[in-house]
Amino acid sequence: MTAATWRPHRARIIPYVLAVVVVAGSVALAVGMPSNWAVGDRIGLVVIGLILAGILHILARSRITADDRGVTVVNGLRTHEYEWAEILGVSMPEGAPWPMLDLADGSTLPAMGIQASDGDRARHAVAELAALVHERGEARDA
């Protein structure tokens, strides 16, 4: 099996566009400030812009990757890796912002790499992931 990766579409584009705007804006402000602003203040303004861009990157990096070993879910700063047998199912109730993975230990994990705001694309991705879990995971029929 070749690895399959799902990423949100809109929830990825918007933060990256905003990151570019924030960095460009902070650089423009730093350069355009009155001459009584110290160099350290200007650098600080750019650093703040870069920090905000980093936070936006963290929001945009969510993804789900399925391969022969199992499923890797990246939600913001956290990365979760599960073998196929650890995943019982995938559900995305109507109105939910992203699907949930039902795990063998009784817990659930949000899978933010698929976002409901992507509409049909998200429904198709959930169906693909659920089919893989059914085929390879604990949920398969014995």
Sequence spans of domains, the chain: 9-60, 62-136
How many whole angstroms separate alpha carbon 24 and alpha carbon 6?
A: 29
> pLDDT tens across 35-90, in order?
898 999 999 999 999 999 999 999 899 999 999 999 999 999 999 999 999 999 99
Nearest to 116 by CA among 84, 80, 79, 91: 91
Report how far residue 104's alpha carbon sits from residue 111's, in angstroms, rounded to the nearest whole number: 16
How far apart are alpha carbons 142 and 136 in whole angstroms? 11
Residue 32: which residues within 8 A CB-CB, separation 6 or more? Answer: none
Per-residue confidence band for 138, with pLDDT thresholds at 50, 70 and 90:
low
Q: Are 133 and 89 in contact (CB under 8 A)?
A: yes
CB atoms within 10 A of CB 62: 23
User: Could you give phi then psi for residue 97, rounded to 5 degrees?
Assistant: -75, -25
The answer to whether residue 139 scores a pLDDT higher than 70 is no
Taking the C-alpha atoms of residue 142 and residue 130, their distance in angstroms, rounded to an integer, is 17
Q: Does CATH number 2.60.40 belong to domain 62-136? A: no
- Give tens-digit pLDDT for 87-110: 999 999 999 999 999 999 999 999
Cα atoms found within 13 Å of the Cα of residue 101, Cβ hemisphere only: 32
* pLDDT of 142 over the 50 cut: no
Interval 18-45 mean pLDDT: 95
Instruction: Tell me the average pLDDT across 8-18.
Output: 92
- Please count the other Cβ atoms lying within 10 Å of the Cβ belonging to residue 64: 26
HSE, side-chain direction, 13 A CA sphere, residue 125: 26
User: Which pLDDT score is estimated for 2?
Assistant: 85
